[in-house]
Amino acid sequence: MKRKTIIILTAALSVIFTLALAGCGEKENPYGDAVRIHIRANSNEKTDQDVKLKVRDAVVSFLTPLLVECKDRDGALAVISASLDGIAFAADAALKENGFGYTASVRLAREEFPKREYLEYTFESGFYDALIVELGIGKGDNWWCVAFPPLCFVGDGSGGDVVYKSKIKELIDKYFGDGE
């Protein structure tokens, strides 16, 4: 009985994984309705840039479970809008925990962004809905991510590594290891 359950579970996960990867080779830009996250550091001082990444971790950890079920841009915007106080609290807690006296301001805005290319993905220049998290005076370099669809970029913003957040892949890695 146990062996049969394991075989069925493995087959089901294989089918889900295959379906999830079916569109991975497409080069078409699916991000016209993207909702972006921008975290703007207080300054370009190393300490301000370092804490920006700690705030990033706190904000992404807070938002990920809230956005996982969103089916469209409007749903993601509604969730983010309803969560602005929680996002600010998470950002401020990260700042305070790391000894910073300034706070974060958080808002949803439609802002113009330049064209950005990351590997085979292109975000055309234009106006995007975005969650803006400004730390202190917000005059430093920023980190950005895409909250919807759930595609997050990490690295230095110069076309480095791309990490796709996939709940299915996370579950498979959790139960079967990451192959390393």
Tens digit of each residue's pLDDT (9 = 90 or more) over 38-83: 899 999 999 999 999 999 999 988 998 888 888 888 999 999 999 9
pTM of the predicted structure, to 2 decimals = 0.67
H-helix or E-strand spanning residue 165: none
Q: What angle do CA 162, 111, 129 make, to 5 degrees?
A: 65
- At residue 121, the pLDDT reads 67
**Residue 138 DSSP one-character state:** -
- Could you tell me which residue, 109 or 32, shows the higher pLDDT? 109
Residue 146 pLDDT level (bands cut at 50, 70, 90): confident
Q: How far apart are CA 83 and CA 66, in angstroms?
A: 9
Sheet containing strand 162-164, edge to edge, reads: 104-113, 126-135, 35-40, 142-148, 151-153, 162-164
